[in-house]
């Protein structure tokens, strides 16, 4: 479970060189972890191959165009629940407290509700607890998967798998509406945000059965790695 959550976190992050290096073995590692069905793993292959083979700058541009031009498929979960209300602030504080209770500290000035960061947190929990906490944003994950599938993007696959793991599907939930992709002021403001990382290494046992791949995953989640900035990162 730990390895699967870490890989899904990596696949939903802003593309970077370390992802390209690890991509050829991610499918095998997912199979070894045994959490996903053969059908679910097959659904991830187009995204894994795209990240492995496409030019890195093209992958980064596509990611920004999909996730950072507006709120429609924002990876900040609370944005779809609380918007900019004061309730979102308290929810952020509560979630950050949960991270810190596990010895995790966000290494950048970033919001705790960023989905890949939340998945990193889940990956350090006991499997049963991780599964239970993943259900909390289940309806959001399902709604995001629907919208990504409508866009025909391979990023829909990891989101749908997360929704399935959360036991979500069919529940009505209205996520944030689409924004104007030509709102350059808003896009510029988003690009000023910092890369999100945890200071504490995640999941000491994740990938332990394959040390080389485990090291690759550690590198992808290492706060010391310098990564180009993305709007939601």
Per-residue pLDDT at 75 exceeds 50: yes
Q: Highest-confidence range of 22-36, 68-82, 150-164, by mean pLDDT?
A: 150-164
> Can you give the pLDDT at residue 96?
87
Q: Which of the four pLDDT bands, split at 50, 70 and 90, describes residue 22?
A: confident
| pLDDT tens-place string over residues 29-63 | 999 999 999 999 999 999 999 999 999 999 999 99
Lowest mean pLDDT across 7-16, 66-75, 160-169: 66-75
Between these two residues, 183 and 75, which has the higher pLDDT value?
A: 75
pLDDT at 230: 37
The answer on pLDDT for 206 being more than 50 is no
Q: Which domains does the chain have, with CATH numbers?
A: 2-220 (1.10.3480)
The DSSP annotation for the chain comes to: -HHHHHHHHHHTSPP-HHHHHHHHHHHHHHHHHT-S-HHHHHHHHHHHHHHHHS-HHHHHHHHIIIIISSSTT-SBGGGGTTTTSHHHHHHHHHHHHHHHHTT--BSSS--TTBHHHHHHHHHTS-HHHHHHHHTTTHHHHHHHHHHHHHHT-TTHHHHHHHHHHTT--S-----PPP--TT-HHHHHHHHTSPPP-BSSPP-TTTTTTSHHHHHHHHHHT-TTS-----TT-
- Mean pLDDT taken over the chain: 77
Most confident option among 77-86, 97-106, 165-174, 204-213 = 97-106
């Amino acid at each position: 479970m730990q390895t699967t959550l870490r890989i899904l976190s990596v696949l939903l992050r802003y593309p970077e060189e370390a992802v390209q290096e690890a991509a050829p073995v991610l499918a095998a590692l997912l199979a070894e972890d045994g959490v996903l069905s053969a059908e679910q793993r097959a659904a991830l292959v187009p995204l894994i191959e795209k990240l492995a083979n496409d030019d890195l700058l093209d992958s980064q541009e596509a990611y920004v165009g999909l996730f950072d031009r507006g709120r429609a498929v924002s990876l900040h979960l609370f944005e779809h629940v609380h918007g900019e209300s004061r309730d979102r602030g308290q929810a952020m504080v509560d979630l950050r407290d949960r991270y810190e209770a596990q010895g995790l500290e966000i290494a950048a000035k970033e919001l705790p509700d960023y989905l890949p960061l939340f998945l990193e947190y889940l990956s350090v929990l006991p499997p049963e607890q991780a599964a239970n906490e993943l259900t909390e944003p289940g309806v959001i994950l399902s709604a995001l998967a629907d919208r990504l599938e409508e866009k025909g993007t391979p990023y829909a696959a990891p989101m749908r798998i997360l929704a399935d793991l959360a036991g979500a599907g069919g529940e009505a939930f209205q996520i944030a509406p689409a924004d104007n992709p030509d709102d350059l002021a808003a896009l510029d403001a988003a690009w000023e945000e910092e890369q999100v990382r945890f200071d504490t290494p995640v999941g000491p046992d994740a990938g332990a059965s394959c040390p080389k791949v485990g090291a690759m995953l550690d590198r992808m989640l290492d706060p010391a790695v310098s990564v180009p900035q993305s709007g939601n990162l």
